[in-house]
Each structure stands twice: as C-alpha cells, then as structure tokens.
Structure 1
Amino acid sequence: MKPTRILAGMAAILLSLSVPVLAQEPLRVGAYPANPPWENKTESGAFEGFEVDIVNEIARRMGTTAEFQGMDFKALFVASASRRADMVISSLTITDERLANQSFTQPYFQGALGIGVREDSDLAGVEGLAGKTVGSVATSFGEAWLKENAGTLGQAGTKSYDSTANMLTDLQNGRIDAAVNDIVGMRHAFTQMQGLKVGAEVTTGEKFAMMLPKGSEHLDQVNQIISDMKTDGTMAALHEKWLGVAPAADSFAVTPMPVPAAGE
C-alpha cells in the first residue's frame, strides 16, 4: 500500500475518534408544576424537587438530559399514553387500573393520604368525613379512594379539582369542609398557607413511582438505574435532602425491586 494511502487511512481513523459520540435524545418528562416537595416550578421557570433530582440523575446515568414540561395532573396520563412524554412524575401511585394502560418503575416511596381541614375543625379521623363536602384532585389516588369508600365514609358530596392550589384555596374559604391528598405534599403546603391543618392521616400503602408509556423501551434501563441509586445511597441522600429525614432501613427508598406487575 502506498504511503499516501496509509496516511489518508490514519487521518480518517483519527478524525472519527475526534467526533464525540452523540448522547441519547433528551428525556421528555411531564410534571405537575405545583407539587412540592416532589416537584415544583420555580419563578425562574426551572423545576426542582425530590422526583426532579431523581429524574436528572437517571438522565445523567443514561448519558442524556431531562426536559421538563409542566402539565395539569390529568394531562400527565394522556401525555404518557400518547407517548408525548417519555416519563411522567408527580407522586404517582401504582395501581392495577393504571398498569393496564401504562408502565411504572419500581416504587421509591410509600405514601399515605392526609385529610386537610381548617384549624377550627375537630375532625380527627376518617369518620369525621360523614356528612361533609370533600375535595380531591381529579384522577388522583385520593379521588379514587373517596369514590371506593363512599359507602363507609358517608360524605355528603365530593368536589373534583384540576389543581391542588385551587382545592386548598376552597378549603381555606369554606367552600369545602375537607380535602384529601398526599400527606407529604399537604403538610408542605400548609407551611405556606394560613388556617389549615392535617386533621387525620390515612395509611393506604401507596407506592410512588415514575410512569412511562406502556412497554417503553426505557423502562428496564430506568428501573435498573433506580435500583443502583438505592444501592449506592443516592436515593437515600435525596430523600433526606427533600423530605427532611433519612429513609428507614427497609423502606422503598433503599430496597431494589423489579418492575411492578398487576396484582402484586
């Protein structure tokens, strides 16, 4: 082979090595923008929160970045089902009904419901909802819980809201008697809102996870990264950063799990 051809071949190899490998496309992430400490859109337009940090770390380990888009809570399910989002977050509970149409990662937090009331209320348990008008966020686990237990709760009526802020404002103003929502987010909100308190906690065994389109090509990789984050202490550190306490030794935040299936 002629020297000029050898040099040309070496130059081509060196040029190919100098071209960076393109990262994966950014992850399109749907998020309810007013759900602290899970996720919240700041005045600058950036997203922050426990689940935001988890997603950003997942994207980093995948060799890409995350692009967040604020959506109404109901719109999250449509965005995932239509594949306009690669994943969605917002303290989402894994349910068999949702698993029929969506995919979920393993859980990283066990949630509970809070019953929010005004400070002058004497409600101290679920029995206090009898005869009351109760608010919940549309399509949320809290709304489903109210509907499923209406026979025993005996509430006089329910009111559905597109946003947590509107629901809690109505609670402040006496338009509803109580509100049901994720207790962590509710307690956080009540540090900013006057005249409201958590009257009762409802243990439900909710499993919070990220939702992806059914059969997503990202599901197994994302789930493995979450397992790695639990094993190497990253998830525990984020839990303490955003929720104020270290997770229990046997909690979802430190226990690697497989991708969930219906009936589990």
Structure 2
Amino acid sequence: MTITRRLALGLGLALAALSSTAALAQDALRVGAYPANPPWQNQNADGAFEGFEVDIVNEIAKRMGRTAEIQPYDFRALFVATASGRADMVISSLTITDERLESQSFTQPYVAGALGIGTKEGAGISSLADLNGKTVGAIATSFGETYLKDHQSEANYADLKSYDTVANMLTDLQTGRVDAVVNDEVGLRYAFQQMQGLTVAGTIQTGELFAMMMPKDSPLLEQVNQTISDMKTDGTMAALYKKWMGTDPAPDSVTVTPGPIPTSAAG
C-alpha cells in the first residue's frame, strides 16, 4: 500500500470517527437539574438522578430517539445554562413567570404548585401574616423568594435570607437561624419526612404552574411540548405522578390535560 493510500485511508477513518461522535452528541438531550430537590429530582449516592421530572425527561428523550444526559447545576445556574445554550432543557419544579418568559421558553405545565411555609413544630406560624417580625428563608431567585419580596408589606418579615441550597436552608430552620422558610410545598413535605421536628404549617395558594424551561424559541420546543401532550393523553404522565406523589392527579388537572406552549404565566 502506498503512502498516499495509507494517508487517505487514515483520513477516512478519522472522518468516520468524527461523524460518529457528532451523531452521538446530536442524540444526547442535555438536561440541567438542581440535584437536591426530591421528589422532583435528586442525585443519589451513586451519582444517578431520580425523581418525577427525571422520569419525564427520560421518557421524552426515549420518544425522541435520544438519550437524556442530566448534569447537576446550582439553582441560579439553571437559568444561565439555558440562556447560554449549554442545556437543551432544565428541570427543578420551575414556575412559569412572565419575567422568565422574556428570556426563556417553557413547555406546557404538568403540575399546579403551591408554596409551603415550613417551620418548627409548635412555632405558631401558619400564614404570611404570622411572619410579622420573623426571619424567613428562601432559595435565591426562586419563585418563593420572589413571592416574599412582592408581598413584603403583607408578610412584614424582619429579614429575608437567601440560600443557594435547600439543605443549608433547612439546616438553618432546624437550628433556629431562621423562623420559617417558604418553598415548594411538595418538596418541603417530602424533606420533612426525614427531618424530625419540622412541619409544613401553612400553604400559600399561588396559582403557579411547573414546567420545563428551555432556551428561548428552542428548535426542540414544539417536539418536546407535543411529546408531553402525548404522555398526558396516553396515561404516562398520570402514572409517573402517582409513582412519585403517592396519589392520582385530579382528572381535570394540568397533569393530565394537554396544553399549548405558554406565552404568559397564565398558561
């Protein structure tokens, strides 16, 4: 074999390898997730992700002929991940808001959420009004923090502490550094099953809707949204909800009702 032919063969093999690598990269659906947010998503001791939204993205990827590659991010970094294009979508019981829709896109919602007020048992705090003069914790840039800031005159709390992680926030609640925390109600109830002495003492009905966030006008948005509709129609979404929440979703809830891509917080 001549040197020219060997060079040509080597170049051909290299190009084939690059082509194969590119194809594999295209098959991967890059998903960002906050790693400590059960039952929505949680990274276990082996580094694997599990949870309600994890099952959803894995099913979406499967139906799209792809695989989901889930990477951990701090909560605030989730927004940078989609805005910069480093992630195709992110999950973390994210609330659709008009402000977020200015720079991000969302799929149709699959859960109607509420905020919980977490306290020590017997703290005597069960409503926004009871936060008067108290020190309150919330996750930085979360819907809960935004809600507290927007309702400061009603809550009249003495201090609002922002946290990067749920673990640090709940540790401060246990040790008394904060009097109460405001966060996703489902997540708080789940966490308090493993934390003695803490309780969800009150619920704030906000009308918030949880969905997946994607880069603004992502070319994958239509396909992902249609896949979510299909999962609602064929019963997959309801089955996953029952698996992780322990109960059936309401028959007329957003968990089982297909919807369009939202253009406002109202859906």
Per the normalisation by structure 2, the TM-score is 0.90
Give the superposition deviation at 1:126. Answer: 1.8
Q: Distance in 2 between matches of 1:140 and 1:27?
A: 25
Give the superposition deviation at 1:199. Answer: 1.0
Give the superposition deviation at 1:110. Answer: 0.2
CA contact (8 A) 2:31 2:87 kept: yes
Q: Give the match for residue 10 of structure 2.
A: none
Question: C-alpha offsets along residues 53-102 of structure 1, whole Å, 9 cap, x if unaligned?
Answer: 00000000000100000110000000010000000000000000000000
Name structure 2 gaps, 5 residues minimum.
1-19
Q: Give the match for residue 237 of structure 1.
A: 239
Question: C-alpha offsets along residues 232-254 of structure 1, whole Å, 9 cap, x if unaligned?
Answer: 00000000000000000000110
Q: How does 1:2-81 map to 2 (within 5 A)?
A: 24-81=26-83
Q: Give the match for residue 176 of structure 2.
A: 174
Query: What amino acid does structure 2 have at the position aligned with 1:118?
Result: K
Residue of 84, 87, 93 corresponding to 2:86: 84
Q: Give the match for residue 12 of structure 1.
A: none
Q: Give the match for residue 249 of structure 1.
A: 251
Percent of pairs with identical residues: 66
Question: C-alpha offsets along residues 98-123 of structure 1, whole Å, 9 cap, x if unaligned?
Answer: 00000000000000000000113111
Per the normalisation by structure 1, the TM-score is 0.91
1:216 and 2:218 matched: yes
Name the SS for the 1:204 alignment partner.
coil
Q: Distance in 2 between matches of 1:147 and 1:27?
A: 35
Query: What amino acid does structure 2 have at the position aligned with 1:111?
Result: G
Residue of 183, 186, 192 corresponding to 2:185: 183
Aligned length: 244
Give the superposition deviation at 1:195. Answer: 1.3
Q: Distance in 2 between matches of 1:177 and 1:28?
A: 38
Give the superposition deviation at 1:25. Answer: 2.2
Name the SS for the 2:207 alignment partner.
strand
Q: Give the match for residue 16 of structure 2.
A: none
Name structure 1 gaps, 5 residues minimum.
1-19
Task: Please identify runs of 4+ aligned residues in structure 1 that moved more than 2 A.
Answer: 22-25
CA RMSD of aligned residues (A): 1.2
Question: C-alpha offsets along residues 200-230 of structure 1, whole Å, 9 cap, x if unaligned?
Answer: 0000011000000001010000000000000
Q: Distance in 2 between matches of 1:76 and 1:263?
A: 19
Assess, with a 3 A threshold, how the Cα gap between structure 1 residues 56 and 263 changes in structure 2: closer, same or farther: closer
Give the superposition deviation at 1:263. Answer: 5.9
Give the superposition deviation at 1:127. Answer: 1.2
Q: Give the match for residue 6 of structure 1.
A: none
